[in-house]
Each structure stands twice: as structure tokens, then as C-alpha cells.
Amino acid sequence: MQHKTTNPEEFFVRCNGGHPETGHPAVFLDLTKTEQISCPYCGTVYKKKEND
């Protein structure tokens, strides 16, 4: 499982599994109500980066 940090101002992230040939359909994950979310297809965890 991968972990990726996003810009704190991003409200949605797009995940496609990372590779065109072995990935999955693109999904948009909503970060408006949470600080962290995982992709339902590949399990990649997206977390908002802490403000410095």
C-alpha cells in the first residue's frame, strides 16, 4: 500500500492506480471532510500535508 501526501489546499485527489496498463479506473476522492482517505481500488492512502 502506498502513502501520498497532498497539498493542504486540495479538496479532491485523482487516483488511477499509478500505471496505465496495470492501474484501475480513475476515481476522485473527496478530502473536504477528512484529512486522510484511501482509494477503494488499490488502497493508496492520501493524506493532507501539514501546514508549515
Report yes or no: 8 and 50 within 8 Å, Cβ to Cβ: yes
CA distance 30 to 19: 21
| 8 vs 45, more confident | 45
**What pLDDT, on a 0 to 100 scale, did the predictor assign at position 20?**
75
**Band of pLDDT at residue 52, cut at 50, 70 and 90:** low
Residues 11-34, mean pLDDT to the nearest whole number: 90
Global pTM value: 0.81
* Cβ neighbours around 15 below 10 Å, total: 23
Burial (CB < 10 A; 0-12, 13-18, 19+), residue 41, is middle
* Cβ neighbours around 2 below 10 Å, total: 13
**What pLDDT, on a 0 to 100 scale, did the predictor assign at position 23?**
85
| Grid coordinates given for 23 | 492501474
